A and B are shown apart, each in its own frame.
Chain A
Amino acid sequence: MSRTVWVILAILALAFAAITGLAVRRGMLGPQAQTAAIGGPFRLTDQTGKPTDQKVLNKKWSAVFFGYTYCPEACPTTLLALGQTEKLLGPKADDFQTVFISVDPERDTPKVLTNYLSNTSFPRRTIGLTGTPQQVADAAHAYRVYYQKAGAGQDYQVNHSTITYLMGPGGDFVCVIAYGETPQVMAGQIQAAMKQGPHATSCQA
């Protein structure tokens, strides 16, 4: 076989590889675009009783989590993990906050939230938010969070989504932090996002 044929074959192989690479990259970019539109405007009241809105997310990286103070399982699990995550972030913890939004506005008054969040094992920089049932429903809708009252009487439970969202300092969605992640994994995700800068779109290193 002549040298010319080999050169042509080599060029064709290279072209094929380049086209395949481009196709793969396109395919990988596709699903990411669909994760937009988590979060947005809300009007709630913080644990000091002050009316507040989505601007509480500005300037800091925020772990946004929906729960209720009566909850003995998922909520302490997540808040304890975030408390340890905060410590693992070291000096970067100053750029990070936890936002706990109640899905039980009937029982979770600002005063109840203040007491609940005074737990020294929970993250130190935590904003507790509650509101009218409608305000809470609107906020949960914006974050695509499900919650449903279960059981009767005073001691009802609220079944709810256990997902935690990492939002960037502009208030935009960055990534999902799965329930039950270790503080080490959570801190790694947050650090990876911080490294990408304020417009991070993922928590991958």
Chain B
Amino acid sequence: MKRALIAAAVTVLAAAPLSAFSAGTLEVLQPWSRPAVAGTTGVGYMVLANHGRSPDALEKVESPIAARVEMHSSAMAGGIMTMEKQDKVAVPAGGRTTFGPGAYHLMLIGLTKTLNPGDRAPATLTFASGARLKVAFVVSAGMGPPPVAAPTPGANR
């Protein structure tokens, strides 16, 4: 029985996706970034999931490897990309907000470190509810997010 429990625990740990971060009812899924050279601007993408019953909002993002981090929205109209700075980004109760190409994104301004594929860019997210979450944006080598381990059934609901 004991052995079975240990085996089960090992299985769960091994299968747990490395790319999810959570605090209370907030979860950050698949934070990823793109290659960028020190001194330039990096990007941060992720999915914010709010499993709670009250709405929340991302208010502040800090990173030890960027002079500062801003939240922006992108919009494409007639082939022209327009960006707008956001003071906060809402995450509805029981809902998700996606930061991704062509949508909301974090701007890591003034990178002090070059981000190469496979690197991790650390950041701390602060929410309106007071929740604080430490995440690491994995730098992808491809056009989309880096591949992750096969999803585990039942996890991340």
- With A72-B72, A84-B142, A115-B38 given, can you name 12 additional A-B contacts, CB distance below 8 Å? A72-B43, A73-B81, A73-B83, A74-B81, A76-B43, A80-B35, A80-B143, A150-B83, A155-B109, A157-B83, A161-B79, A180-B101
B residues in contact with A146, CB < 8 Å: 80
A42 at the interface (CB under 8 A from B): no
Query: CB distance B117 to A121 under 8 Å?
Result: yes
Query: What count of chain A residues pass the 8 Å CB interface test?
Result: 31
With a cutoff of 8 Å between Cβ atoms, the chain B residues found around residue A155 in the complex are 70, 109
Q: Does A135 contact B (CB under 8 A)?
A: no
Query: Min CB distance, A77 to chain B, in Å?
Result: 6
Is B22 part of the binding interface, using a Cβ–Cβ cutoff of 8 Å?
no
A150-B82 CB under 8 A given contacts A80-B143, A119-B37 = yes
Sort A-B residue pairs by CB-CB distance and give the 5 closest, nearest first: A121-B35, A74-B81, A72-B43, A159-B82, A72-B41
Give chain B residues whose Cβ lies under 8 Å from the Cβ of A180: 101-102
Contact between chains at B81 and A69 (CB < 8 Å) = no
Query: How far is it, in angstroms, between the C-alpha of A115 and the C-alpha of B40 when the chains are bound?
Result: 8
Q: Which of A70, A73, A115, A163 contacts B37 (CB 8 A)?
A: A115
- Closest-by-CB residue of B relative to A163 is B79
Q: What are 5 of the A-B contact pairs (CB < 8 Å)?
A: A71-B41, A73-B83, A160-B81, A162-B79, A179-B81
B141 surroundings in chain A (CB, below 8 A) = 121
Tell whether, in the assembled complex, residue A162 and residue B81 are in contact, meaning their CB atoms are under 8 Å apart.
yes
- Which residues of chain B from 15 to 44 have any CB-CB distance to chain A below 8 Å in the complex? 34-43
A183-B141 Cα distance, complex, nearest whole Å: 13
Query: Within the complex, which residue of A69, A77, A81, A183 is in contact with B40, where a contact is CB–CB below 8 Å?
Result: A69
A35 within 8 A of B: no
Considering the chains assembled together, what is the distance between the CA atoms of A76 and B37 in angstroms?
Answer: 11
